[in-house]
Structure 1
Amino acid sequence: MSAESHPTLPPVRLHSDAELARDALGAPLFARAVRLARWAGPETRVGVGGELAADQLPGAAAHLGLDAADENAAGCASQAWRVAVDTGLVDVTEPEEGADGSAEGGSGAAGGEEPYGTAAPGEDLALVTGGTPGDVLDLWRAALEAVLADAAVPDLEDLVDALEAGGGIDFDRLDWNPGREADALDAVLANLYLLTASGAGGTDRSIPLPVLAASMVAPEGMAEPTDAVLEQVSDAMMRLDGQFRQLEPIGLVEFRPVDEELMAQPDGRDGSDGADGSDGSDGSDGVDDGDVSRYGMVRLTPLGLYGIRARMLEAGVEAPAVGELAGKGADALLDAVASYPEHAAQAEIEQWMAGRDLPAAVTELLAAARGDDEGGPLRRLRCQQALALAGPQAEPAVRSVLDEAELGGLARVWLAEHGVADVPPPAPEMVFWLTVDTIAAQLAADGETEELPLLMETLTAHHTGFFDQVWRVEHPSTVRVLEAMGRLHPDRRRAKEARRAAFKARSRRP
């Protein structure tokens, strides 16, 4: 899994190892692999690749409780057996090769019958019930790797069509590169992880398949997709539909497949219309959530979130988890959460505050929030976010910074919100400095959002001659803030004043 696309990701909240291990044991494919590992014995016969002998597949399927009349029963049993072998839940002894390269050994090798090897429960099977949750998760991750390898292989029908006359696969005709396909699936899962981790609604949400497909093929910043891009999105959707069908039984995702009716429209369309999430009509209302879901919905399960994060960490991607900063200092906390989305920063701050001595924690946070560097405004914004969790015990520590230029403003905000009396009014210089610092923090956190003009108007509305004074503020972001206000302030006259102030601020800089 490449670390280049997303060098740093938002933090995710993981379930405990015990909860994740229970989820792993409950994943249908993993549970079947465990059951077949316990079923394996002296009479179990395997082929050269360790695969279960064909005449034993019905017995394996019956042991799993699969309906013998189901044409997929043997395939399900075969897949579960492969997972059991790949994870070490089963130990196999393959048929030995003779001097002429043919397999030999094992009863059945004589009389023209196909030779076979044997199988028995592996040592790792004991870890399922006798190991730690971490042991179970290691086994599940090995199973996941086996399933991912299968999911990267093209559809069997495509393979059959690509068979050459001599029995080999024409890879040029198939246009299949194993490494490329594995990398493509890794990229899909990385994007699914990113979309999940970045969601303000938390990780328990489904992603429409068209959104995920478009994130892989549509050029960044494309306002209106072309027909060629829509066709690529549609093709990617169908490929993802097949892959997620394979990944759901191992517990990686919850998946609602593409509605098959969309693939056979009455007017002969192939279902590609609407691949961008629309219904292909000219209606201005688009489609409702139910219609969008017909194009497929996918959600990383808590187990899947854990599994993809583990693979990313192995690839060198920085993929933080909520709670990892709990034992570190306030400086490390504020530096890290400065780049987090607000909801993720809130979760991390709550973990950090929990169990700490409140007055000492507040003092440490305030000290870490100081600094006239470019990262200072965002550190102070996150510090203010942390102080919102503090109760009356924090008042002495907050009062102690009232006279500081960098912290006096946020201290007054906190004290006012908590109804504290006898708070001295700020000097005009502090008001200007706090205004610049607040807008600079918002720009650093979210960029030029739709809400920012309203914030600018609110902060400047009650100060006569604001722009005649603010350009003198000794703050590293003064110029940047004034330039942003010149572009975004909803009052045209004020915006013009901001542009003049920005020019003055630039002129006084050495």
Structure 2
Amino acid sequence: MSADSHPTLPPVRLHSDAELARDALGAPLFARAVRLARWAGPDTRVGVGGELATDQLPEAAAVLGLDAADADSGGYASQAWRVAVDTGLVDVTEPEDDGGEGDEARFGTAAPGEDLALVTSGAPGDVLDLWLAALDTVLADAAVPDLDDLVDALDAGGEIDFDRLDWNPGREADFLDGVLANLYLLTVTEGGAADDPVPLPVLAASMVVPDGMGEPTDAVLEQVSDAMMRLDDQFRQLEPIGLVEFRPVDEELMAEAGTPPEPETASAADDEDVSRYGMVRLTPLGLYGIRARMLEAGVDAPAVGELAEKGADALLDAVSFYSENAAQAEIEQWLAGRELPAAAAELLAAARGDDEGGPLRRLRCQQALAPAGPEAEPAVRSVLDDPELGGLARVWLAERGVSDVPAPDPEMVFWLTVDTIAAQLAADGETEELPLLMGSLTAHHAGFFEEVWRVEHPATAYVLEAMGRLHPDKKAAKEARKAAFKARSRRSA
């Protein structure tokens, strides 16, 4: 998985390791691998690559409770055996000589592996490590073309002609990784898929349609259709390991329509019609698995709760880039393990700073302290005279009806206004609500723009320029632009 696919992702809410381990043990393919590992014994014979001997596949299928009349039962048993071997649930001893005569010369042996004991006696993390190894095997298999395509691509010497097959193993693996990364992003992004399944045409289009393309061309739509059918086959293989919940493409519909709905209309079309083109969502176990692969590749993929043991400085720096809901969830977990008076003091100390990230840290600090009760009051009162935190402290105390709060001087009012708007710009950009906030903050201060440009805040000019664009009052907007020019001139002098 490429480390630069999504360099920074929204935080994901993961289930507990115990819940995820139960899901892993319940995944059909992993459960089959465990059953075959327990079945392996002195009479089990394997080939050169550790694969189960062909004449033992019916017995293995029977152990798994598969219908012998099902032509695919042997394939299911073979896949489960491969997972068992690759994860260490089974130890194999390959044949020493595959050119001799007789069964003894041509087959190796197999036995339950040491790791099999972890399934019942290991910690949840041990089970999840085994499941991740199984996932690697399944993902590698899913990136391989259909058997029929491989047979068609064999040359005269029995070797695969990759040029004829038009299959590049690395490219296929990267494509599947990219699809899963996009599915992960759609799931964890605020307002994204969450628990809702994603239409397969949308996911295929995310990999094929160039950014900024308006109406897709026929050639691009054909590529989307090809990618969609490829994903249909791959997700069928990924569902048994517990990575996804998947509704396959309705083959009758594809025969009728020939092409998928256009990507931009797929979400707006009738739910039933879209679902017939395939729907997929990551399971909680799938979110865990894709995140683990991203972390291994060096991708910054945070999870809610991982900052609980870190200091307030690390907390505020991280949640500054989270959505408000995700930041709140992380803050709550951080506070849960601490005494509130000390935690409040630590948060306030971490909120200081005249660097670019300071305003947003203070906004998140204010968010963290919002639900705090009287226990936090001493820490808040201690910063009333602090030039950076005094305004925040007064707002917090006033919201709780404290009567003996000293009035702020004008300089502190102007500084807090700049800091507040800078934080909102950093958190959400130029939203529809921001002009209303600007109007509210300046309405009660006559001559606001004649004074604010002198404020010693690193974001003063930046904020005034934004107010010049967004302030709902045209006269105030003009005054903001003049004040911004003065602020820029003052800083460059």
Q: What TM bracket, shorter-length normalisation?
A: over 0.9
Give the structure 2 partner of residue 207 of structure 1: 198
**Structure 2 unaligned regions, length at least 5:** none
Please state how far the C-alpha of 1:225 moved relative to its aligned partner.
4.1
Please state how far the C-alpha of 1:66 moved relative to its aligned partner.
1.5
Structure 2 residue 59 is the aligned partner of structure 1 residue 59: yes
Rounded Cα–Cα distance in structure 2 between residues aligned with 1:66 and 1:441: 60
User: Residue 28 and residue 463 in structure 1: after superposition, are their counterparts in 2 closer, same or farther (change >3 A)?
Assistant: same
Please state how far the C-alpha of 1:51 moved relative to its aligned partner.
1.9
Please state how far the C-alpha of 1:253 moved relative to its aligned partner.
1.6
TM (norm. structure 2) is 0.92
Structure 2 residue 428 is the aligned partner of structure 1 residue 422: no
Please state how far the C-alpha of 1:441 moved relative to its aligned partner.
0.8
Rounded Cα–Cα distance in structure 2 between residues aligned with 1:361 and 1:467: 37
One-letter amino acid matched to 1:274: E
CA contact (8 A) 1:252 1:300 kept: yes
Give % identity.
82
User: Residue 84 and residue 445 in structure 1: after superposition, are their counterparts in 2 closer, same or farther (change >3 A)?
Assistant: same
Structure 2 residue 318 is the aligned partner of structure 1 residue 336: yes
Give the structure 1 partner of residue 18 of structure 2: 18
Pairing 1:152-191 to 2, within 5 Å after superposition: 152-191=143-182
1:104-157 Cα offsets, whole Å, 9 max, x none, are 5535x6xxxxx4333222222222112222222221111111101101112223
Give the structure 1 partner of residue 186 of structure 2: 195
Please state how far the C-alpha of 1:246 moved relative to its aligned partner.
0.9
CA contact (8 A) 1:471 1:504 kept: yes
**Structure 1 unaligned regions, length at least 5:** 110-114, 280-285
CA contact (8 A) 1:210 1:276 kept: no
1:432-470 Cα offsets, whole Å, 9 max, x none, are 222211111111122223332332233233333332332
CA contact (8 A) 2:184 2:282 kept: yes
Of the three residues 253, 257, 260, the one matched with 2:244 is: 253
Give the structure 1 partner of residue 486 of structure 2: 504
Give the structure 2 partner of residue 47 of structure 1: 47
Please state how far the C-alpha of 1:232 moved relative to its aligned partner.
3.0
One-letter amino acid matched to 1:482: L
CA contact (8 A) 1:214 1:276 kept: no
Give the structure 2 partner of residue 445 of structure 1: 427
Give the structure 1 partner of residue 253 of structure 2: 262
Please state how far the C-alpha of 1:34 moved relative to its aligned partner.
0.7
Rounded Cα–Cα distance in structure 1 between residues aligned with 2:273 and 2:479: 49
Please state how far the C-alpha of 1:277 moved relative to its aligned partner.
4.2
CA contact (8 A) 2:17 2:125 kept: yes
Give the structure 1 partner of residue 309 of structure 2: 327
SS in 1 for 2:344: helix
Rounded Cα–Cα distance in structure 2 between residues aligned with 1:468 and 1:126: 75
SS in 2 for 1:255: strand
Rounded Cα–Cα distance in structure 2 between residues aligned with 1:499 and 1:235: 53
Rounded Cα–Cα distance in structure 2 between residues aligned with 1:15 and 1:436: 40
1:275-312 Cα offsets, whole Å, 9 max, x none, are 44438xxxxxx324444433333222222222222222
Rounded Cα–Cα distance in structure 2 between residues aligned with 1:201 and 1:419: 39
User: Residue 216 and residue 364 in structure 1: after superposition, are their counterparts in 2 closer, same or farther (change >3 A)?
Assistant: same
1:319-345 Cα offsets, whole Å, 9 max, x none, are 222222222221121112112222221
Rounded Cα–Cα distance in structure 1 between residues aligned with 2:196 and 2:297: 25
Please state how far the C-alpha of 1:5 moved relative to its aligned partner.
2.4
TM (norm. structure 1) is 0.89
Pairing 1:308-457 to 2, within 5 Å after superposition: 308-457=290-439
CA contact (8 A) 1:105 1:116 kept: no
Give the structure 2 partner of residue 282 of structure 1: none
CA contact (8 A) 1:211 1:277 kept: no
One-letter amino acid matched to 1:272: P
One-letter amino acid matched to 2:478: K
Give the structure 2 partner of residue 29 of structure 1: 29
User: Where in structure 1 do 4 or more consecutive aligned residues deviate above 6 Å?
Assistant: none
Please state how far the C-alpha of 1:477 moved relative to its aligned partner.
0.9
1:220-275 Cα offsets, whole Å, 9 max, x none, are 3445544444333333222222211111111112222233343122xxx3123334
Rounded Cα–Cα distance in structure 2 between residues aligned with 1:339 and 1:67: 52
One-letter amino acid matched to 2:103: G
Rounded Cα–Cα distance in structure 2 between residues aligned with 1:493 and 1:158: 70
User: Residue 304 and residue 485 in structure 1: after superposition, are their counterparts in 2 closer, same or farther (change >3 A)?
Assistant: same
SS in 2 for 1:509: helix
CA contact (8 A) 1:36 1:80 kept: yes
CA contact (8 A) 2:248 2:277 kept: yes
Structure 2 residue 262 is the aligned partner of structure 1 residue 271: no
CA contact (8 A) 2:8 2:301 kept: yes
Rounded Cα–Cα distance in structure 1 between residues aligned with 2:223 and 2:92: 43
SS in 1 for 2:131: helix
SS in 1 for 2:280: strand
SS in 1 for 2:110: strand
Mean Cα displacement is larger for which, 194-203 or 310-319?
194-203
1:340-364 Cα offsets, whole Å, 9 max, x none, are 2222211111111113111111111
Rounded Cα–Cα distance in structure 1 between residues aligned with 2:460 and 2:9: 30
Rounded Cα–Cα distance in structure 1 between residues aligned with 2:130 and 2:41: 21
One-letter amino acid matched to 1:7: P
CA contact (8 A) 1:277 1:292 kept: no
